[in-house]
Amino acid sequence: MSKIRVAINGFGRIGRSAFKIASESKHIDIVAVNDLTDSKTLAHLLKYDTAYGVYDKDVKSEPGFLIVDKKVIPVLAEKDPSKLPWKEKKIDVVLECTGFFVKDGAAKMHLAAGARRVIVSAPTQGTGGIQTYLLGVNDVNYAEDSVISNASCTTNCLGPVAQIILDNFGIKKAMMTTIHSYTQDQNLQDGPHKDLRRARAAASNIVPTTTGAAVSVTEVIKELKGKFDGLAIRVPTITGSLTDFTFLVGRKVTVEEINKAFREEAGKPRYKGVLEATDDPIVSSDIIGNSHSAIMDLGLTKVVDGDLVKVMAWYDNEWGYANRLVEQISVVTE
């Protein structure tokens, strides 16, 4: 069986993590990277990572190429996705990781360039008609879409948790807060930003801001439409985040029932690799490099008056998300 030929458009935090994960697959061949940064810089950033340490591969570069364990990978620098040589390179799947081509079906430009499938590493917006699929939630409904969205890291955490609560206990309404590590969409020092809170120094402040994750989940789990919302609190950690959920459930429950449900569901094939549960008193650094979308912290589960439920789930907002992104390659090519 021939390998799936993959190109990565955008070699930032998610693109590089996806590269490392996909490179370990026997079924995937990364045949091109497109990024406006020079190959020498990209090679250095691939090799040395503040969050994840030194990459255990031999990484070199030549002008226009990455060389990883002697495998030579062309590095392109094309701003317009429709002009990329995907037809010539027989690209099966593009991982669209720039964060730019998310509106009105812009990611479909990769199809015009000759790619068979595109997976967008962000929520999509506007009139493009691009469907969102979450592994463990609605991936079984994949309908041969040429372009799909893998939503956001937070949406991937929310989806399986909300689905398990809904299936086992029902949900009347819910709120969530993600306590989220800072990202490049914040300023290192105080400076102009369209979000005046994100304008402030990321490493020195707790920064309340918006998240579209709760709304994105309702597009996947239709039963939650109009019943689920939330916000984000950005904090001074480099990666590793925590979602705080509050559910008004459909019947009286206990802490023990809630935790039992998560333990049992985590062991089922549907959530294998997507959700796990722990009783250990962990902190954010403990889940850096964890590949799951949600790590349930069962010691933090609370129930008030039988039907008001709080659960908390950790997630590595980079590595966990990048694992789901790479796994979607199998979804769109099977």
CA distance 118 to 82: 13
DSSP 65-90: EEEETTEEEEEE--S-GGGS-TTTTT
Give dist(CA 228, CA 216) in Å, integer. 10
Say how far apart CA 3 and CA 22 lie, in whole Å: 12
Cβ density class 260-295: b for 16+ within 10 Å, e for less: ebbeebbeeebbeebbbbbeeebebeebbebbbbbb
Is 35 known as a binding-site position? yes
CB-CB contact of 124 with 150 (8 Å): no
- Find out whether 13 is annotated in a ligand binding site: yes
121 labelled ligand-binding: yes
In this structure, the dihedral spanned by the alpha carbons of residues 50, 182, 15 and 119, taken in order and rounded to 10 degrees, is 160
Distance of CA 309 to the CA centre of its chain: 25
Return the DSSP state at 58. -
Convert 302-326 to b/e letters by CB count within 10 Å (16 or more is b).
ebeeebebbbbbbbbbbbbbbbbbb
Q: How far apart are CA 319 and CA 315, in angstroms?
A: 9
First to last CA, the chain: 12
**Contact assessment for residue 271 and residue 136, using Cβ atoms and an 8 Å cutoff:** yes
Q: Which residues are catalytic?
A: 153
Residue 183 marked in a binding site: yes
Return binding residues for D-glyceraldehyde 3-phosphate. Answer: 152-154, 183, 211-212, 234
Return binding residues. Answer: 13-14, 35, 121, 152-154, 183, 211-212, 234, 317
Return binding residues for NAD(+). Answer: 13-14, 35, 121, 317
